[in-house]
Structure 1
Amino acid sequence: MFANRSDAGDRLAAELEDRGIEADVVLGIPRGALPVARPVADALEADLDVVVARKLGAPSNPELAIGAVASDGSVWLNDDLVERLGVSESYLADVREREATNARGKADRYRGGEPLPELAGKRVIVVDDGVATGATAIACLRQVREAGAERVVLAVPVGSPEAVADLESEADEVIALVTPGNFRAVGQFYREFGQVTDEKAVEYLEER
Structure 2
Amino acid sequence: MGKPNNYYFDLLDPTDKKRIKQEYLTLFPAIFNVPLDHVLSSCTNADEEIKLSASSKFNKKSTIFKHTVTYEDGTISPEIEWRQKIVKGVRKVENKALTDYLRFLEEEGYFLKPQTALGLFVHLRTYFDYPFTAKDLSVSLNKLCRKDSKNRPLLQRDLDRSRFTYSETYQIQHLATSLTDLNGPFDFNTSKLSGAQIFTLSDRNNRI
Please give the TM-score of this superposition, normalised by the length of structure 2. Answer: 0.19
Write 1 or 2 for the structure with the bigger share of helix: 1
- CA radius of gyration, larger in: 2
Higher relative contact order structure (alpha carbons within 8 Å, sequence separation ≥ 6): 1
